Structure 1
C-alpha cells in the first residue's frame, strides 16, 4: 500500500508554516517591544537628567557655588538603586574639582543643552549633560545600565516565550497531523482496497462534522456505488456469456449430430469448419469476459488468497513437458522453491499457460521454450523463435492484435496476451516484453512503483 511520508504530508507542511509564522511574529513583537522600551527609556533618562540640572541650577542661583556643592553632596549621600546611580562633577574655571564623585571631566564632553549617552572612563554607560556656570562647569549624569538589564530581560522573556509557543504549536501540530493523517490514510486505503468492512468504518467516522469527515463519508458512498456497479457489471456480463454460450453450444451439438449422419465429404468439411468457427467464437467470448472481469477487479483484494507459485508452476511445467515432446520442442524450466503470492490460482495458471501457448505457437519445431520463477515474484517465459517484429512491440498486448508467424499468417484471436496483461494487472503485477537479440522474452513481476516501495 502506497503511503505518504510524514515529511511530505500537507499537514506537516501546515504545521511547519505555523511554526515559521510563530517565530516571525515573536521576533517582530520582540523587536517592536524592545524598540518602544528603548525609546521610553531614553526619554525617561533625558527627562531625569534635565530635571536634575534644573534643580541644581536653581540651587546655584540661590546660594552660589557653596549651595550647589552642598546640594550635590546631599544627593550623593543617598543610596540609589543598582543601575541608576547619579554622577556629578563641579569644577571651577581652572578645572579644579570642587565636588562630585568623578575623578575628572569626561574626555571630549562639552557643554550642551540636550542629554546624550556617553561612556565614563570606567566603562559605565550614562546619560549626561553639562552646563556652564559663572564660576566653573557642572557635569550631571545618571547610569543607564538598569534599563539595559531590563531590556535584556525583556528580550530573554520573548525568546523563552517564543520557544514555548513554537514547542506548543509543534506538539499540537504533531498530534493533529498524526490524527488527520490517519483519517486521510483510511480514505486512501479505502480507494486501494474498497472492501465492505473498510467502507463501513469510513461511514462511521466520529469526526464527520468537519471537511475530512465529509470527504470520508462521500468517499464511502462513492466507493459503495462503484462496488455495486462493478458487481452489476459482472452479473450482466456473466448473464450475457451464459445466454450467448448456451445457443452456440446447442448449435455445435446440432452440427455434431449432422456429422454423424455421414454426409458427403464436402458437407462434412463445411460442418467441421463451422464447428471450429463456433468454438473460436466461444473461446473469444470467454476471453473477452475474462479480460473485463480482471480489469474490473484491478486492485481489488477480494477473492485473493495465498498461492504457492512454485507448486503451481511445477504442475504447469510437468504438463507442458509432455506436450513439448509431442510437438518436437525443447522445454526447460527453473522454479525457485517456496515462492508464494496473493492471487487467484486459476487466473495465475491461465496467465502462465497463455504465455507458454503463445511461445509454443510461434517457436518452430526443434526450438526451445524456457519457464523460470524467481523471488519477487518474477515469472519469465522466453523462447528461441522469430521474436516480435519491432513495429508490433508497442501494441502486442492490445486486444485483437495478432503477431505474424513464420509463414506470415496470423493465428488465434489476438486476445491471449491482452488477457495475460489484464490478469497480471488484476494482481498488481506488470507484464513486459524484454528486449532480446533473438526470440521473445516475457517477464511478469511487480509494477515498478510497488517494487520500489517494497525495496
Structure 2
C-alpha cells in the first residue's frame, strides 16, 4: 500500500472543451463563408445568364420588329453558328403557337411560358441544362433563346473544391494550434494540481518553473508557492511551540509528582487521600501532553514513507486479540475475532498497535457487562472494531475525532478526548482513513485505505 494518493483528474478537461470549441467555431465559420460564397456566385451567375439571354432576346425582337418574320428566320439560323465570347453555347427555337418548330436547333418547345416572357433554368429535349427565356412575338409566333451554363457550373465546382480544401486546412490549423496550446496549458495546470495535491497529502510539493514573460498560471503557481511556504513555516512554528510547551510543562509536573511521592512516604495517608488524587491528576496531565505530542508528530509525518516497513497485520492483530481477551473477560464481555491470514501493509508497528489498542480500549470501556466486542481484518487492508454498546449519535461521528472532543453518552467515563484524535492522525500518517460505520447497534470503527 502506498501512503501517497494519486492525483485525481476530472473526466472533462476545460482545455479539451476549449479545443473542441475552437474547432467548432472554425468549422462553423468555414461553412458559413462557403454557403455565403456559393449563394453569391450562383446569384451572380444567374444574373449574368439572365442579362445575356435578355440582351439576345431583345436584339431578335428588334430584328423582327424592323425586318419581319423572314429576316428573323434568317438571323436565327445565322446565330446558331456563332459562339459567344463567354464560351456559352446558344440555342434558339422559333415556333408557331402550337409549338411546331420553324427555325432553330430544338425539335420541340420546352416547359417555359412564352406568353409571360418567362425565364429560368430548364432542360432541353436532348438533356442539355440551359438558362432560357421565351417570348410571344405574335399570336402565332413564339421565340426561345437559351444559353448553356456548364462552364459556370464547372467553375462553381472548382471554386467549391478549392474553398473546402482551404477551409479544411484552416480548420486543421486551428485544431492543431488549439490542441498544442491546450496540451501545454493542461500540462502546466496538472503540475500545479499535482503540487497542491502533494501538499494536501502532506508530501513535498514544488510548483512548475515560471514561463518566459509569465501569465495567469505562473501567477497562480507563485501564489501557491508562497502559500505553501507560509503554511510550512506556520506548521513548523506550531510544532516547535507545542513540543516546547509540552516538554516544559511535563518536566515540572514529573518533579512535582516525585515530590508528592516523597511526602507520601514520609507522611503516609489512607488510600484515596488528597495526595494520591493529586498524583493521579498530575499523571493524567502528563499522559495528555504525551498524546498531544504524539498527535503533532503523526500529523507532521503525514505521507512520509520514512520509518514505514512491510508489516504482517494479521500477526499483529492476532497478538493484540490474545492480550485483550483477558481484559474483555474481566469486564464480563464476549470478545470475538475474524482475522484473515496473510494481510500486510506498509506501516509502523508501534503506531498501528496504538491505533487498534485505542479502539479496543474504548469498546471495552463503554460496552456494558454482557456485551460483545468484535475485531475483524480483511484484505485491503480493512480493520473493523465493532461493539453492541450505547453507540455514538450520528451528529457526533466527525466531532469525536477532534482533539478534546468526547461523545455525550450515558455513564460518561473520565478521559481527555485525545485517543480518537491520535488514532485518526496515525491512520492519516499511513495513508489510511479511520471512520465510523453505520452498524445496526453500538459503534463500528473502520480503518481502510484512503480514497
Tell whether the structures are fold-level matches, with TM greater than 0.5.
yes
Separation in 1, partners of 2:414, 2:187: 52
Gaps of 5+ in 1: 451-455
Query: Offset at 1:100?
Result: 0.9
Say if 1:50 and 1:115, in contact at 8 Å, map to a contact too: no
Q: 1:187-231 CA deviation, whole Å, 9 max, x = no partner? A: 11111213999644x252445623223322332232122222222
Query: Offset at 1:325?
Result: 5.9
Q: 2:230 aligns with which of 225, 230, 234?
A: 225
Say if 1:111 and 1:129, in contact at 8 Å, map to a contact too: no
Q: 1:140 aligns with which of 145, 153, 163?
A: 145
Say if 1:72 and 1:100, in contact at 8 Å, map to a contact too: yes
Say if 1:295 and 1:422, in contact at 8 Å, map to a contact too: yes
Count of equivalent residues: 443
Structure 1 residues 289 and 171: CA distance shift in structure 2, 3 A: same
Say if 1:404 and 1:411, in contact at 8 Å, map to a contact too: no
| Residue in structure 1 matched with residue 192 of structure 2 by the alignment | 187
| Residue in structure 1 matched with residue 92 of structure 2 by the alignment | 88
Query: Offset at 1:359?
Result: 1.4
Q: Secondary structure at the match of 1:214?
A: helix
| Residue in structure 2 matched with residue 453 of structure 1 by the alignment | none
Q: 1:341-385 CA deviation, whole Å, 9 max, x = no partner? A: 455544333221110111122235565432222222211012344
1:260 correspondence with 2:253: no
Query: Offset at 1:257?
Result: 2.0
Q: Secondary structure at the match of 1:28?
A: helix
Structure with the bigger percentage of helix? 1
Gaps of 5+ in 2: 1-5
1:45 correspondence with 2:49: yes
Separation in 2, partners of 1:62, 1:355: 120
| Residue in structure 1 matched with residue 39 of structure 2 by the alignment | 35
Q: 2:255 aligns with which of 250, 271, 274?
A: 250
1:429 correspondence with 2:447: no
Structure 1 residues 221 and 444: CA distance shift in structure 2, 3 A: same
Query: Offset at 1:173?
Result: 3.0
Q: 1:311-331 CA deviation, whole Å, 9 max, x = no partner? A: 443443344346556666544
Normalised by the length of structure 2, the TM-score is 0.83
Separation in 2, partners of 1:198, 1:416: 28
- Structure 1 residues 86-165: aligned runs within 5 Å: 86-92=90-96, 96-112=100-116, 115-122=119-126, 124-133=128-137, 136-165=141-170
Q: 1:238 aligns with which of 227, 237, 243?
A: 243
Structure 1 residues 83 and 255: CA distance shift in structure 2, 3 A: farther
Separation in 1, partners of 2:323, 2:220: 52
Say if 2:112 and 2:118, in contact at 8 Å, map to a contact too: no
Query: Offset at 1:238?
Result: 1.2
- Structure 1 residues 210-221: aligned runs within 5 Å: 210-221=215-226
Structure 1 residues 168 and 330: CA distance shift in structure 2, 3 A: same
Normalised by the length of structure 1, the TM-score is 0.83
